Structures are given as structure tokens and as C-alpha cells.
């Protein structure tokens, strides 16, 4: 930026004028230097000071600058000669410019603190009220900061939400938009993007039936993988019609798979690697029987039998394949047409079974409840002494569990409150010990 175009505020101008004049007057008083009355001191800010006379003083008063009194030399007072302030030296003028040229740096600093504060608020999920209070404290010291947290976080002013005929509201963020934000410079060597899709429901409040059903994705073959939201449904219950709920996602995904996507002037092919859902969500998006149905098995054509609960007795039934699923050869397995059928995806091979619910919250939880009671036959139930001994051993391991574990072990008395990671730790590590893998 050119020096002549540097804008100076009134307060900055006044501060520098007073400092320069005070310094020059001190020099004049110490050395009794004589100066010409007609000499003019010129400020680098572009303000020309006139002769030291009543007219000049009135001009200074007009701009509101308090000037020190004019010092006169006793030897020249009889001659009527006043001592004027000498002009600034060139080095001082350079310092003046150097001090005011920091405006660019201040602008960069202001932009930098805006970005850092926005990242901090998003990372730690700071509430809007807390962010607003912090901005009101920092704004006098950083004038570039906005006063409203919505401006700081670039909150969209409009959100396009459509009401579904089946009930609830749906907002489509966009798969292409999410890919533009997710793909970075680390992906320069990739030729295609493998997407992993997740669809699930979650409650929002304990005292209300309102729930969210997000459609999320992540790029599986990227070095750093962060999920992003494609679409979001909100309603009092899960979407009544899966086809209407998934229509925008299916349409956009088909377009990207057929044509690819260009990001940062680089073209990528797009493909769907897999869908990750729990059993109820898989049944919902595939249009098949729920996991408790007689023909609910997703990998084979076994037909269940009822004995207080549905049991699959055969382990040698015919396996399902992607083609037989599309043609719906097993009518007892399907409830409706699959809403994801336009996608070029294997609906048997690309839908994995849910390890967390099947193994951790399923088999492992059932076994422990059989051993501890009250479920299961008495022939396999452990005595109260054994249950207490196992609980003590689990609690004794607590002090030696590193932070790599999601949860520390708890007593069997809290079994009904165990999480899936606790059942996994018990199944893989705590429940077996020694080379012969004896139970605790």
C-alpha cells in the first residue's frame, strides 16, 4: 500500500501531532535553536502547519489539538522574532509511516482471530449465548470481531426445508457439497472416492418423541476420514415412507456415480462402498422384514420357527445374492420395493451385519445374563459367590486400564447399564485369561 493512501483516524493523527510537537519543543528549549518564522513543519499524514501566529493557533484549535505554548528566545524577543518549530527529520517521518503501516497487519490479525474463534466454538460445541458473551468482552479490544455469534460462525440465513407427505420435515444438505468440504490436498493421488453411507435414527429429548434421522457419509479411502451430513429428517417418529425420505439422496448419488465430480480442478469417480446401519435401519431402507420376522435373515433364505421367540434352526439354507434380492425371489423376505434400488449397489454384499448389536449387545449380553441370572436355565447359572468374585476381579482391574479403552470395567451388579464397548471388552479381554482361556 502506498504511503500517501494510508488512512489515518482522528485519534491517531492527534496522538502523533502531540508527540512530535512535544519532542520538537523540548529540543528547541534545550538548544535555543533559531528558526525562521516563515518555515513550515509538514506532517507525513498530509497536514500542513502554518506559521506560528494567532491564525495558526486558531487553525490548530479547529481540529481540536492541544498545542504547547510557543517558546520565544530572549535574545530575539526585542526584535520581535518568534522561534518556530523545526521540521521533522526524514528518519522520524519513516518511523511515522512504519507505525501506521501496521493497519494491514491488524487486518490480517483480525481475520485470523475470527477464524480461530469460529473453529474453537465449533470444536468444543460452545453455545450461542456463551459465544455472544465472549464477543461482547473481546469486541472493544478487537474491533474486527463481529458482535453476533451467527456472523462469526457464518450461520446460513436461510434453510430450505420441505414438508414430507408422510409426515415430518426434511432438509437436504447435498452429497456434492459434502464431498467438496471433505476432499482436501491429501487426495491428489486418488482416482475415485469410495463412500460409506450411514442411516440411523436418534431421539432428541427424553420427554418428547421428536427424533432425527440423518443420512451421513464419509470417504472411506481418504487418509483422514471425517463424516458429513447429506440430509436430515426431523419428526415425531421415523419417516413413514422410506422412498420419499431417500428420494433426493438417491437422485444425487446416481448422478455423481454416473458423471463423477470435479474438485479443485481434479475429476474423481464416485462409488458407494457400503452401507453401515443397524438391523432396524437396514430393514427400513431395504424394504425387508424386521429382524424378528420369520424370513428376516439377510444372508440366507432360512425360514424361522417360533418357540417363545423366532429361532433359525438351519445353518445350511440357500444363500441370498444381489440379483435374487433385486428380483425379489423370496417374497417372505420383502415388504415393499427397495427405495435404494436405482443405485448400482449390491443390497446383500454391500450391507454388512451389525457387530455391535449382534455380538456385543446380542450374544455376549445374553450369555452373561444366563450366567448371572435371572434369565436362562438354572443349570448354567453361577452361584452368588461366583458372581461376587467375578465382580471383584473386574473392579480390581480398573486401576490398570489405560486410556485406550473406551470404558473401565464395572461390576456385574450394573449389568443392565453396561454399554456395547463394555461387553466387547469382557468378550475379548476381561472374560478370559490364561493360555487355556478359563472364564475369569
Sequence-separated (6 or more) residues with CB below 8 Å from residue 297: 304, 312, 317, 333
Nearest to residue 270, comparing CAs of 281, 255, 280, 260? Answer: 260
Nearest to residue 231, comparing CAs of 279, 166, 159? Answer: 159
Residue 304 CA: distances (Å) to CA of 285, 299, 300, 317: 22, 13, 11, 11
Dump pLDDT digits (tens) for 394-437: 999 999 999 888 899 999 999 999 999 999 999 998 876 543 44
Q: Can you give the pLDDT at residue 432?
A: 67
Three-state DSSP at 65 gives coil
Dump pLDDT digits (tens) for 310-336: 888 888 899 999 999 999 999 899 999
Dump pLDDT digits (tens) for 86-123: 443 444 444 444 444 444 444 455 578 888 899 999 88
Which grid coordinates are listed for 12? 491517531
The band of 6, judged by pLDDT with boundaries at 50, 70 and 90, is low
Per the CB < 8 A criterion, the answer to whether 162 and 153 are in contact is: no
Q: Which residue has the higher pLDDT, 53 or 228?
A: 228
For the beta carbon of residue 70, count every other beta carbon within 10 angstroms. 15
Three-state DSSP at 421 gives helix
CA distance 370 to 380: 7
Q: Can you give the pLDDT at residue 320?
A: 93
Q: Can you give the pLDDT at residue 315?
A: 85
Dump pLDDT digits (tens) for 356-388: 989 999 999 999 999 998 888 888 899 999 999
Residue-range domain boundaries for the chain? 3-100, 103-152, 355-439
Supply the mean pLDDT for the chain: 80
Sequence-separated (6 or more) residues with CB below 8 Å from residue 379: none
CA distance 98 to 95: 5
Mark residue 376 as left, alpha or beta (left: phi above 0; alpha: psi -120 to 50; beta: remaining).
left
The band of 291, judged by pLDDT with boundaries at 50, 70 and 90, is confident
The band of 158, judged by pLDDT with boundaries at 50, 70 and 90, is confident
Per the CB < 8 A criterion, the answer to whether 423 and 432 are in contact is: no
Mean pLDDT (whole number) for 297-301: 92
Q: Can you give the pLDDT at residue 110?
A: 57
Of 45-49, 145-149, 241-245, give the lowest mean pLDDT range. Answer: 45-49
Dump pLDDT digits (tens) for 189-222: 888 999 999 999 999 888 999 999 999 999 998 8
Strand 266-276 and strand 192-199: pairing? Answer: parallel
Cross-strand partners of 219? 195
Of 17-26, 51-60, 377-386, give the lowest mean pLDDT range. Answer: 51-60
**CA-based radius of gyration for the chain:** 38
Residue 357 CA: distances (Å) to CA of 195, 226, 291: 23, 23, 11
pLDDT greater than 60 at residue 162 = yes
Q: How far does Cα 428 stand from its chain's mean position?
A: 33
Three-state DSSP at 122 gives helix
pLDDT greater than 70 at residue 145 = yes
pLDDT greater than 90 at residue 78 = no
pTM to 2 decimal places: 0.66
Residue 157 CA: distances (Å) to CA of 2, 115, 267, 428: 38, 19, 31, 49
CA distance 7 to 24: 24
Dump pLDDT digits (tens) for 220-236: 988 888 899 999 999 99
Amino acid at each position: 500500500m502506498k504511503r500517501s493512501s494510508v488512512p489515518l483516524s482522528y485519534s491517531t493523527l492527534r496522538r502523533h501531532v502531540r508527540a512530535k510537537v512535544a519532542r520538537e519543543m523540548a529540543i528547541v528549549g534545550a538548544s535555543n535553536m533559531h528558526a525562521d518564522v516563515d518555515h513550515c513543519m509538514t506532517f507525513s499524514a498530509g497536514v500542513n502547519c502554518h506559521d506560528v501566529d494567532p491564525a495558526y493557533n486558531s487553525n490548530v484549535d479547529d481540529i481540536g489539538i492541544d498545542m504547547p505554548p510557543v517558546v520565544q528566545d530572549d535574545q530575539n524577543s526585542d526584535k520581535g522574532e518568534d522561534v518556530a518549530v523545526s521540521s521533522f527529520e526524514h528518519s522520524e517521518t519513516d518511523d511515522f509511516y512504519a507505525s501506521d503501516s501496521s493497519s494491514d497487519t491488524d487486518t490480517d490479525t483480525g481475520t485470523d482471530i475470527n477464524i480461530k474463534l469460529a473453529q474453537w466454538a465449533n470444536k468444543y460445541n460452545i453455545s450461542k449465548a456463551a459465544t455472544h458473551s465472549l464477543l461482547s468482552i473481546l469486541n472493544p479490544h478487537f474491533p474486527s470481531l463481529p458482535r453476533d455469534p451467527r456472523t462469526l460462525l457464518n450461520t446460513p440465513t436461510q434453510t430450505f426445508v420441505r414438508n414430507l407427505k408422510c409426515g415430518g420435515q426434511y432438509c437436504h444438505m447435498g452429497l456434492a457439497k459434502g464431498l467438496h468440504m471433505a476432499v482436501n490436498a491429501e487426495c491428489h493421488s486418488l482416482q475415485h472416492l469410495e463412500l460409506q453411507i450411514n442411516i440411523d435414527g436418534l431421539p432428541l429429548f427424553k420427554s418428547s418423541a421428536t427424533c432425527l434421522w440423518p443420512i451421513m457419509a464419509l470417504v472411506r479411502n481418504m487418509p483422514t476420514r471425517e463424516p458429513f451430513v447429506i440430509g436430515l429428517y426431523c419428526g415425531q417418529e421415523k419417516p413413514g415412507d422410506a422412498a420419499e425420505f431417500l428420494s433426493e439422496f438417491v437422485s444425487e448419488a446416481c448422478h455423481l456415480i454416473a458423471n463423477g465430480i470435479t474438485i479443485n480442478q481434479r475429476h474423481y469417480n464416485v462409488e458407494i462402498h457400503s452401507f453401515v446401519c443397524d438391523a432396524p435401519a437396514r430393514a427400513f431402507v431395504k424394504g425387508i422384514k424386521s429382524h424378528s420376522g420369520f424370513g428376516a435373515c439377510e444372508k440366507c433364505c432360512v425360514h424361522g420357527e417360533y418357540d417363545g421367540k423366532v429361532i433359525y434352526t438351519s445353518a445350511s439354507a440357500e444363500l441370498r445374492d444381489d440379483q435374487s434380492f433385486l428380483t425379489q425371489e423370496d417374497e417372505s423376505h420383502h415388504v415393499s420395493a427397495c427405495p435404494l434400488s436405482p443405485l448400482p449397489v449390491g443390497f446383500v454384499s454391500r450391507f454388512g451385519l451389525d457387530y455391535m448389536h449382534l455380538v456385543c449387545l446380542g450374544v455376549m449380553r445374553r450369555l452373561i445374563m444366563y450366567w448371572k441370572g435371572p434369565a436362562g436355565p438354572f443349570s448354567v447359572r453361577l452361584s452368588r459367590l461366583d458372581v461376587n468374585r467375578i465382580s471383584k476381579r473386574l473392579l480390581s482391574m480398573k486401576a490398570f486400564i489405560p486410556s485406550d479403552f473406551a470404558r473401565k470395567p464395572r461390576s456385574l451388579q450394573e449389568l443392565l447399564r453396561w454399554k456395547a464397548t463394555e461387553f466387547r471388552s469382557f468378550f475379548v479381554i476381561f472374560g478370559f485369561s490364561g493360555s487355556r482361556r478359563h472364564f475369569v
